[in-house]
């Protein structure tokens, strides 16, 4: 009996594998493209690692006169710090390609007008990510560094380590950039029929609370930086609701009765 059950189950499994095979191959193709893009941008970033590091270090020197150099406490630390920095910059620079590959995988079989829409959405997603990264580096980070360096004094000398500092800067910029993708993610979720704009409106208070908690954690408990991050995210969330509803209405009106 068990043999008969197994024989009857095998065709179902085979059909399931055949059904998912195109999706598996498509996902593999998209992931390979993403990984190759990240590797290429990481290699380019490593070539300019010293200049990039100097650019990232400049806000720290401006935050406090007590800090004029960074230190490293073991021999390979500087080398590994530049590798990590190059990888972070490679991830940030690769974000437009990552977003495009994600969109193409989630929305297969696009029509000609939908392909144009995909390009527009990826453009705005890239613009939002760039805006978040610039906001982090030029607005939030200087204030955060000033706050962190305010604890330094005659009895407490700051000795920031090169590797930890560069990792902190790169992660913060990446976190802000991803956080500013909220409208893009909301529109994409609506286009994929996961949720609707009405759902985001009903759950607004919970998402606001999540934004505040996330902002507090990403800014290491600095209330000024938390506000600097949370307020734009509130506005972006509302923009995401509007855009999600707008694109959903277009999709519904274009669907034949």
The model's pTM is 0.68
pLDDT at 40 over 90: yes
Q: What's the rounded mean pLDDT across residues 163-178?
A: 82
Separation of alpha carbons 204 and 194, rounded Å: 17
pLDDT score, position 107: 62
Least confident of 17-21, 31-35, 197-201, 231-235: 17-21
pLDDT score, position 246: 75
Separation of alpha carbons 216 and 178, rounded Å: 15
Query: Shortest CA distance to 180 belongs to which of 128, 134, 130?
Result: 128
pLDDT at 177 over 90: no
Q: Which residue has the higher pLDDT, 90 or 182?
A: 90
pLDDT at 44 over 90: yes
Separation of alpha carbons 207 and 202, rounded Å: 10
Which alpha helices (H) appear in the chain, and where do they start and end?
2-47, 49-63, 77-93, 95-106, 112-135, 141-149, 162-179, 182-191, 197-202, 204-218, 223-254
Separation of alpha carbons 142 and 30, rounded Å: 37
Task: For the chain, give the mean pLDDT.
Answer: 77
Instruction: List pLDDT tens digits, range 77-106.
Output: 888 889 988 988 898 888 778 877 777 776
For residues 90 and 190, the answer to whether their CB atoms sit within 8 Å is no
pLDDT at 3 over 60: no
pLDDT score, position 36: 92
């Amino acid at each position: 009996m068990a043999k008969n059950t197994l024989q009857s189950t095998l065709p179902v499994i085979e059909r399931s594998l055949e059904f998912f095979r195109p999706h598996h191959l498509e996902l593999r193709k998209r992931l390979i493209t993403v990984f190759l893009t990240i590797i290429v941008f990481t290699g380019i970033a490593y070539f300019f690692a010293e200049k990039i590091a100097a650019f990232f270090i400049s806000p720290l020197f401006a935050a406090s006169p007590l800090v004029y150099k960074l230190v490293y406490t073991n021999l390979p630390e500087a080398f590994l710090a530049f590798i990590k920095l190059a990888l972070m910059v490679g991830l940030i620079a690769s974000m437009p390609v990552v977003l495009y590959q994600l969109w193409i995988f989630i929305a297969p079989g696009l029509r000609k007008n939908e392909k144009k829409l995909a390009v527009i959405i990826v453009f705005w997603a890239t613009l939002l990510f760039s805006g978040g990264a610039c906001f982090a580096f030029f607005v939030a980070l200087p204030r955060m560094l000033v706050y962190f360096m305010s604890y330094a004094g005659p009895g407490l000398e700051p000795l920031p380590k090169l590797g930890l500092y560069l990792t902190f800067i790169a992660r913060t910029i990446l976190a802000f950039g991803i956080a500013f993708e909220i409208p893009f993610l909301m529109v994409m979720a609506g286009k994929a029929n996961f949720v609707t704009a009405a759902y985001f409106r009903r759950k607004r208070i919970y998402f606001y609370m999540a934004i505040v908690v996330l902002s507090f954690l990403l800014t290491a408990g600095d209330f000024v930086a938390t506000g600097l991050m949370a307020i734009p995210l509130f506005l972006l969330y509302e923009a995401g609701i509007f855009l999600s509803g707008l694109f959903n209405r277009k999709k519904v009106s274009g669907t034949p009765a």
